[in-house]
Amino acid sequence: MKTRYLVIFSFVFLSQCAYFLGDTSGGREAKTPKQLYAECMTTFQDDAKCKEFVLKSIPDADVTILGQNANPTVDPSSLKIRADLIKSLLYQNKIYVKEMIGEPDEKRTINNWAPGMEEWVYTRPITKYAEGSRPDRELRLHFQKGTVVRVLHTPPSAAR
């Protein structure tokens, strides 16, 4: 008798877990700005409306990579995904950072946190949020005793 209740209880419990933890994507599939633009162009054939649609769907999208008149100033393949770069740079030394992303555009000494704290500022495009996004405006690395302890970024401006 106890095993029957245990089996019924475990079945109900597991079915509820499957219901709540099942499909968390909401039924949508993630698409890149190029895919959205291509689908829109096949449907409407209006460049301005499709670019506006992509910008409303993905606010951080780079409009220069859309369409035939693409003229990017930065090679999108050279930009690194921000989350991956932050994971790889944390707790690494200065030599590793220089090999990974190059010399900084500016070096600063920070005294408000701790003596010996140093900040490297990269203003050239190095990272982006995701594939098809515009590059970040700035990347700042904080070093303490020669090791990266903090990575900060400034996202692209809202104005295009």
Give me the tens of pLDDT residue by residue for the chain, a chain 160 residues long.
777 766 676 666 666 654 555 544 444 566 777 888 888 888 888 888 888 888 777 777 776 666 554 444 567 777 899 999 999 999 999 999 999 999 999 999 887 666 778 999 999 999 988 887 889 999 999 999 899 999 999 998 876 5
| pLDDT recorded at residue 57 | 79
> In CATH, what number is assigned to the domain containing residue 137?
3.30.1450.10
| pLDDT recorded at residue 49 | 81
Residues 145 and 86 in one domain: yes
In a domain, 57, yes or no: yes
What is Dmax (Cα atoms) for the chain?
Answer: 74
CB 32 within 8 A of CB 131: yes
**Residue finishing a domain among 41, 66, 91:** 66
In a domain, 117, yes or no: yes
Domain extent at residue 40: 33-66
Residues 84 and 62 in one domain: no
Residues 88 and 118 in one domain: yes
Residues 92 and 132 in one domain: yes
DSSP H or E stretch at residue 21: helix 2-21
Q: Which two tokens stand for residue 28?
A: 């949508």
Residues 84 and 39 in one domain: no
Residues 85 and 55 in one domain: no
Residues 58 and 103 in one domain: no
| pLDDT recorded at residue 15 | 62
Q: Which residues pair with 153 in a beta bridge?
A: 139
In a domain, 25, yes or no: no
Identify the three-state secondary structure at position 118. Answer: strand
Identify the three-state secondary structure at position 129. Answer: coil
| pLDDT recorded at residue 69 | 46
Number of domains in the chain: 2
Residues 46 and 87 in one domain: no
Count, residues in the chain: 160
In a domain, 22, yes or no: no
